[in-house]
Structure 1
Amino acid sequence: MSFLKLTNISKSFGENMVLQDMNMAIKEGEFVSILGPSGSGKSTLFHLIGGILLPDKGEVYVNKQQITGQKGYISYMPQAPSLFPWRTVIENVILAQELKGQKDKQKGIEMLKKAGLAPFINAFPDELSGGMKQRVSFIRALLSSESLLCLDEPFGALDEFTRLEMQKWLLSIWEEHKRTILFITHNIDEALFLSDRILIFSQRPANIIKEVKVPFSRPRDPELWFHPDFLRLKKEIYYLLQNQEGNL
């Protein structure tokens, strides 16, 4: 049964058609990544799911409820951590709850401790490293009441080793809470390492040209990156994306 469902979604900006007749179905608790050429409408898709933009046609459903153009049904994490510099770490973490008239500071503190951020609970964002800021931003998203998390290249600005640590941390948190995640990335290794399925977008106007079911069992270990089946899938996806980029 689909938790997130998109039916015949199209979106254009003036004469520029970005998404055309897109259909998508995500199961509850599933981790699905999106790969595609730059500018293929991946972030636009998130804005449509989140109600920031209205589609020209088509409908968005979450848990069988039609939410097209409505806000408040997803938790969104952009590439930049987007932390308020004048608020402490714990104050940033509980911000979404405050906006809904709720405040569970203790739960936020417990999650920060699990994330290895106990010494920084009352620190300000400029005292944190890039990886720490991303952990704070993700915990803030996780503490929201929405069951669908849309993560837009959250690790794109991190160095390789910090990125790997964040990927492992994200998987550990996801396996504990099993929230439904839709994850945008340009990194094939990252998509294969994290996901249950990968959806590959075409160039504009974007549509899904291939679905890759990731065959590896969980929990996952970084040694998986050197497995022959991992490398075979990586090569297959690479050439498919290269072909799309070449057609731009």
Structure 2
Amino acid sequence: MSNLELVNLTKKYGETTILNRISLTVRNGEFVSIVGPSGSGKSTLFRLIGGITSPNSGTIKLNGKEIIGKRGFISYMPQSDSLLPWRSILQNVVLAAEIAGRKDELEAKRMLERAGLKGYENAYPHELSGGMKQRASFVRSILSPQPVICLDEPFSALDEFTRLDMQKWLLAMWNEHQRSILFVTHNIEEALFLSDRVIVLSARPASIKKEFTIPFSRPREEALVLSEAFLEYKKRIYQELRAANG
């Protein structure tokens, strides 16, 4: 059974159509990235999946159950780290599990150590760098009980080298925990390096223009991004995005 299933989702704001008949699935343990022109509705799609708003038509199912307008069924990590400044890092990462009644500080401390944050458990967000805060946010997502994690350009504010380190760390954590991830990015290289599939959206009103199944084996090494096969896929996705921008 597919973990997350979207069928013919259409969303309008007034007379403006943002999403037009979007259909996609994210299978159990799969990493799927979405790329598209700016303003094509990628964040709107996450708001629909998270139950923050409802579509004008179409269905959203998680493990076969309708979740339209229902919150708490997916874990959502926005572009900003969204850590609560009055809670320590440990208190922040156990928050989602705490709300669900599944708080486990021992596991949280183990995860923070894996994230390179050992010794920062009692620190506060303002004491951490941008990359450290993003790692803490992702640990919180992993510790939440939801089977699907939606990541909305989580590394966009990081420099190139920190971003690559975060990508490798994310893949290591994802490989260990095998959660389903739906990932939004403007960076084609990032989408290719991380994903099992890459979905290209058209300009608004957004529809699925093309889907690429990524053949590279895992685990993925940094050298992959300079390989001929990788660069060929990057070129193909770039051409689709150029066409999507008109």
Q: TM-score, normalised by structure 1?
A: 0.97
Partner of 1:126: 126
**1:137-164 deviations in whole A, cap 9, x for unaligned?**
0000110000100000000110000000
Partner of 1:97: 97
Partner of 2:162: 162
Partner of 1:173: 173
Partner of 1:75: 75
Alignment of 1:227-242 (within 5 A): 227-242=227-242
Q: In 2, Cα distance between the equivalents of 1:157 and 1:242?
A: 23
Q: In 2, Cα distance between the equivalents of 1:5 and 1:220?
A: 27
Partner of 2:226: 226
Q: Which amino acid aligns with 2:157?
A: A
How many residue pairs are counted as aligned between the two chains? 246
1:105 Cα shift? Answer: 1.2
Q: In 2, Cα distance between the equivalents of 1:97 and 1:26?
A: 23
Partner of 2:57: 57
**1:35-70 deviations in whole A, cap 9, x for unaligned?**
000010111001101100100011100011111111
Partner of 2:48: 48
**1:18-49 deviations in whole A, cap 9, x for unaligned?**
00111111111000000000010111001101
Q: In 2, Cα distance between the equivalents of 1:233 and 1:215?
A: 10
1:101 Cα shift? Answer: 3.1
**Does the 8 Å CA contact 2:40/2:203 hold for their aligned counterparts?**
yes
* Structure 1 alignment gaps of length 5 or more: none
Alignment of 1:183-194 (within 5 A): 183-194=183-194
Q: TM-score, normalised by structure 2?
A: 0.98
Q: In 2, Cα distance between the equivalents of 1:82 and 1:28?
A: 26
Report the identity percentage.
56
**1:199-237 deviations in whole A, cap 9, x for unaligned?**
000011111110001010000001000110100110111
Q: In 2, Cα distance between the equivalents of 1:213 and 1:101?
A: 38
Q: In 1, Cα distance between the equivalents of 2:6 and 2:167?
A: 27
**1:130-186 deviations in whole A, cap 9, x for unaligned?**
100000000001100001000000001100000000000000000011000000000
Partner of 2:110: 110
1:15 Cα shift? Answer: 1.1
SS of residue in 1 equivalent to 2:172: helix
1:243 Cα shift? Answer: 2.0
Q: Which amino acid aligns with 1:173?
A: M
1:86 Cα shift? Answer: 1.2
Q: Which amino acid aligns with 1:148?
A: V
Q: Which amino acid aligns with 1:200?
A: V
1:98 Cα shift? Answer: 2.1
**1:66-98 deviations in whole A, cap 9, x for unaligned?**
111111110000010011111110011111122
